Copies of this chain bind each other. A is one copy, B any other.
Amino acid sequence: TSLHSRLPSSSQSLFTAKAQKGLTFEALAKEIGRNEVAVAALFYGQAQPSPEDITKLSQVLDIPEEQLSQQMSGFPDRGRTLDLPPREPLIYRLFEIVQNYGYPFKAVLNEKFGDGIMSAISFSAKVEKETDDKGDWAVITLRGKWLPYTRF
């Protein structure tokens, strides 16, 4: 099934308004005062907006606040956008990084921190663009709280 049939109704309102306004996530992020990855996550229904987020989004995108507030109420039902394994080439490469470097990451993290995990909830991410003489480089930074296993 297509991606859009898996997204909440707020997604269509947001994407349509964003296209009509011709705004980028970078511009929206500045207006709202948040990271552009976080803003995109709001668009895909993968994050819960604060009331202020809703107010600002409705202003910047000219969507009636009541409508947006109703569409984005409730708690997100995360994780439904992705095929397993991912088929989209860009997203597959992110998955392939986990597939190929997952155990190396675990080995290095365990040595640095002990037994535990990097949280995907107490977590933030950012995307940056670098350019050198070899071309453009995408840099994705993942930052999560280290959670040691509880001893019981």
Contact = CB atoms under 8 A, between A and B. Distances in A.
Interface of A: 1-3, 5-8, 19, 24-26, 34-38, 40-41, 43-44, 46-48, 50, 73-113, 115-125, 127, 129-130, 134-152
Given A98-B95, A137-B146, A142-B97, A108 B89 contact: no
A103 B117 CA distance: 21
Copies of this protein, total: 10
Contacts of A119: 93, 147
26 contacts: A19-B73, A26-B111, A41-B101, A43-B107, A48-B115, A75-B110, A77-B88, A84-B84, A88-B106, A89-B96, A90-B106, A90-B109, A92-B92, A92-B96, A94-B105, A94-B142, A97-B142, A100-B120, A101-B125, A105-B125, A113-B138, A118-B140, A119-B147, A121-B147, A121-B149, A123-B149
Contacts of A74: 19
Contact of A139 (B38, B46, B143): B143
